[in-house]
Structure 1
Amino acid sequence: MPKKIKVLFRHRSMEMGGVERVILDLLENLPRDVFDITFFLTIDQGELRKSIPQDIELITLQKGREDMSSNKFLKTLQLVKRNIILAFYRKNPKILYRKVIKKDFDIEIAPTYSEFENILSSPLNSRKIAWFHTDVSYDPNQKRVLSRINALKNFDWVIFGSKQTRDIIKDLYQIEYPKSSVIYNSIKIDEVKIKASEFPVNYDNHPVFSSMGRLHSRKNYHTLMKVHKRLLDEGFFHSIAVIGGGSEMENLQKQAKELNIQNTFLLLDSQINPYPYIKNSDYFVLPSESESYPLTIGEVMGLNIPIISTNVGGIPEMIEHDFDSYLVEPDENSIYEGMKLFLTNKEITEKFKKNLIQSVEKFDNEKIYNQVISVFQKQYQLKE
């Protein structure tokens, strides 16, 4: 029987997000007869930690906020202690591998840029693979961008989440990655359809635009809120339901209050199962300033909901403009025109729904898993 390839995935924590869902998908679907998989989770924290497959060896370094004291003072002490321990191991990777990880691996994987340094500083004689999902053209911090794209050169192989993600680095920085490939994230349309019917969601005010994403400034929800208010003031009645939590929650709640739209711009926070909220909406809107190849777009297409999305990252590799959904620029006027079109032209949204049935056939998960398996096997052979 051939020897199994020992693979280590490293990630910080399991809050709800696109990268976390990609990791879970790979952990679930990589064949166990080929790979012996270990998942090192720096902090045992986040809504998705309970979704980690039971047959994967899980190593955690520190406990999450959920498992800390409810006493505010004690919790603060626990967080301070946690930060000191994390900083110590970050500076001393050899000790981390000797005392905590305690295993050898053929392949080590950084599923996102926050793990680049951790994987590259590993003392093991392993092949090191990075996943990169970020559109660098929207990051104003050039030092940070250069640090990430130069770090990618040090990996044995890089997997880009979309063609645009790789191409934009070449266009802007004249950096190419001969040891790389583009592999799209898999989209579980059948699974999403089942989850979407798990419970009913009744909105008070139709038509409803749903949206889903981490509440971060680059997700552009502050602009979507302005568009919403503008449309309401012009008599185009509708509501927006945003599923997602994050650092911008407080700012968005304050903005909604100032605009007096709390009843029609609904901030629903993170949901373990967001799909019934999307299924029971009329349309979907993604206002992001930057994306790579967002799973959400494919999932919403699978639910047959017409989409207005900004024309960023790998999204035009998923959506065919004016055939199955509608692409706009990530500015207020463009998003406004797209939403107004949906609210006033039933014919076009019905056309999109009809064409979406055909469009979702492009998402071939089996092909994606085979591409990942092939990369891992080739890297293992090179190590040998």
Structure 2
Amino acid sequence: MNMNLSSNKKKKILIVNNNLATGGVQRSLINLLNHIKGEYEVTLLLFSYTGDYKQYIPKEVKIIEANLPLKILGMSQSQVKSSGYMAYFVRTIFASYTKIWNNHLPISLLVKSQGKLSGFDVAISFLHNAEEKSFYGGCNEFVLQRVQAELKIAFVHCDFSNYGGNTSKNQQNYKKFDKIAAVSEGCRQSFIEEIPELNDRTYCVYNFHDYSEYMNKGCTDPIMYSNEQLNIVTVARLSPEKGILRGIRILKRIIEKNYKVHWHIIGDGSQRNEIEKEIKINNLDNYVTLYGNQENPYRYIKNADVFLLPSFHEAAPMVFNESKYLGIPVVTTNTTSAIEMVREGIEGIICDNNEEGIYKAIKKILDNPEIINTYKNSLIKQRYTNAAAMKQFRRLIEVENL
């Protein structure tokens, strides 16, 4: 490896991601781009140049979109269908193959369809691979196989032990990178527990945040909730790991105790129909509202009493800092980074990761509503900056500390 990078010119950084659809990884990417755009010469390669967040890419960032075969890996089934019969046919074949066997061959073939890129000091894969039966991922393989760079880095935005992609194939790929960047110390520990030989190559790099945007959007036509009830808000993908179904069972127990509470859920996903059925079965239509995906979720958070995340497992949810900055205390299950990101008794409550733990946490607030203002007063006094994240990122892209 050539260690003689010029110090008097901007480093050339290539960042690879699948798309810019609404999601935590994509939001984190946009925030990163906006913080490093002036310090480095940044190129963003997207498998598919689609998604609501593409409008927020800074003009200083050069954009490359992959060719059509690789583009399939960054598109939804409906998007591929509108791209033509051949693209839809290829995706159907590869997705079917993946469900029967795994995604190794489809990802390999699609990645190889793209020409090689060179001339970069640093190449970053920003998206981790999914579990092997999912037709999703490919950024790690692309950076390893199709990019020439002095330094190759893979970001990990997950609880590696529990998210489903902790496979032998993925582990072997991570071992080929010069560095790994985990988005919290908890994520870092989870990763090196599974691949201890990468301990010295694995760094913690916090997610970047756009705090001014959170406040501006939070104060733009904020939702006004009834003060006759406890208003709980959740912003999350409606998928099994988020624990929404168990949250509904918990809410039923609370309502049966004659507490006044309403759960406002912002987000959409594969489990929406099942969640809607559970709400009806338990006669909770008047106590749970599903708003779907919202362009401005912050207006729903701004006037809530508490933010709830009842997940089975999490990495480093950006929504924790979003809620805290808006002055809303967090109730979360004890997942990988919870203790690191939410100060118990000051910023909210970290409860046992089971239904009884969540029930007790919500009941504690209902029985002691004065603690909400105690938490909110603590949150308002805090200072929020990206200084630590920027320092971590600068250190990450230095070859000298390898």
Task: Name the TM tier (shorter chain).
Answer: 0.7 to 0.9
Q: AA paired with 1:263? A: N
| Cα separation, 2, equivalents of 1:123 and 1:316 | 37
SS of structure 2 residue aligned to 1:26: helix
Q: 1:104 to 1:315 in 2, by over 3 A?
A: same
Q: AA paired with 1:80? A: F
Q: AA paired with 2:322? A: E
User: 2:89 aligned with 1:80, yes or no?
Assistant: yes
SS of structure 1 residue aligned to 2:31: helix
Alpha-carbon shift at residue 74 of structure 1 (Å): 8.1
Show the counterpart of 2:179.
157
Give the conservation status (yes or no) of the 8 Å contact 2:32–2:207: no
| Cα separation, 2, equivalents of 1:181 and 1:144 | 18
Q: 1:95 to 1:117 in 2, by over 3 A?
A: closer
Q: 1:263 to 1:181 in 2, by over 3 A?
A: same
Q: Deviations over 1:276-315 (max 9, x none)?
A: 1001211111111111221111111111112211111112
SS of structure 1 residue aligned to 2:181: strand
Show the counterpart of 2:216.
194
Show the counterpart of 1:108.
123
SS of structure 2 residue aligned to 1:144: coil
Query: How many matched pairs?
Result: 371
| Cα separation, 1, equivalents of 2:194 and 2:90 | 42
Give the conservation status (yes or no) of the 8 Å contact 2:160–2:166: no
SS of structure 1 residue aligned to 2:63: strand
Alpha-carbon shift at residue 154 of structure 1 (Å): 1.5
User: 2:10 aligned with 1:19, yes or no?
Assistant: no
Q: Deviations over 1:124-151 (max 9, x none)?
A: 2442101112113334x5x734443443
Q: 1:173 to 1:179 in 2, by over 3 A?
A: closer
Show the counterpart of 1:91.
109
User: 2:199 aligned with 1:177, yes or no?
Assistant: yes
Alpha-carbon shift at residue 224 of structure 1 (Å): 0.7
| Cα separation, 1, equivalents of 2:272 and 2:326 | 27
Percent sequence identity over aligned pairs: 25
SS of structure 1 residue aligned to 2:366: helix
Give the conservation status (yes or no) of the 8 Å contact 1:169–1:175: no
Alpha-carbon shift at residue 6 of structure 1 (Å): 1.6
| Cα separation, 2, equivalents of 1:214 and 1:170 | 27
User: 2:170 aligned with 1:148, yes or no?
Assistant: yes
The alignment's TM-score, normalised by the length of structure 2, stands at: 0.83
Q: AA paired with 1:117? A: E
Q: 1:39 to 1:73 in 2, by over 3 A?
A: closer
The alignment's TM-score, normalised by the length of structure 1, stands at: 0.86
Match of residue 295, structure 1, among 298, 318, 331:
318
1:233-248 equivalences in 2 (<5 Å): 233-248=256-271
> More helix by proportion, 1 or 2?
1
Alpha-carbon shift at residue 47 of structure 1 (Å): 2.1
Q: 1:257 to 1:181 in 2, by over 3 A?
A: same
1:1-384 equivalences in 2 (<5 Å): 2-32=8-38, 34-61=39-66, 62=68, 78-81=87-90, 90-91=108-109, 93=111, 95-98=113-116, 104-114=119-129, 115-139=139-163, 141=164, 144-171=166-193, 174-203=196-225, 206-358=229-381, 360-361=382-383, 363-376=384-397, 378-379=398-399
Q: 1:75 to 1:371 in 2, by over 3 A?
A: same
| Cα separation, 2, equivalents of 1:321 and 1:108 | 38
Give the conservation status (yes or no) of the 8 Å contact 1:211–1:284: yes
Q: 1:85 to 1:373 in 2, by over 3 A?
A: farther
Give the conservation status (yes or no) of the 8 Å contact 1:97–1:103: no
SS of structure 1 residue aligned to 2:320: helix
The unaligned stretches of length 5 or more in structure 2 are: 1-6, 96-104, 130-138
Q: AA paired with 2:391? A: N
SS of structure 1 residue aligned to 2:274: helix
Give the conservation status (yes or no) of the 8 Å contact 1:94–1:123: no
Give the conservation status (yes or no) of the 8 Å contact 2:204–2:392: no
Give the conservation status (yes or no) of the 8 Å contact 1:138–1:289: no
Give the conservation status (yes or no) of the 8 Å contact 1:307–1:325: yes
Q: 1:174 to 1:94 in 2, by over 3 A?
A: closer
SS of structure 1 residue aligned to 2:15: strand
Alpha-carbon shift at residue 45 of structure 1 (Å): 2.5
Alpha-carbon shift at residue 161 of structure 1 (Å): 1.1
Give the conservation status (yes or no) of the 8 Å contact 2:305–2:372: no
Moved over 3 A (4+): 62-69, 72-78, 81-90, 92-95, 143-150, 169-176, 202-206
Alpha-carbon shift at residue 79 of structure 1 (Å): 2.8
Alpha-carbon shift at residue 273 of structure 1 (Å): 1.2
| Cα separation, 1, equivalents of 2:189 and 2:368 | 35
Q: AA paired with 2:285? A: Q
Alpha-carbon shift at residue 110 of structure 1 (Å): 1.0
Give the conservation status (yes or no) of the 8 Å contact 1:197–1:276: yes
Greater length-normalized contact order (CA 8 Å, ≥ 6 residues apart): 1
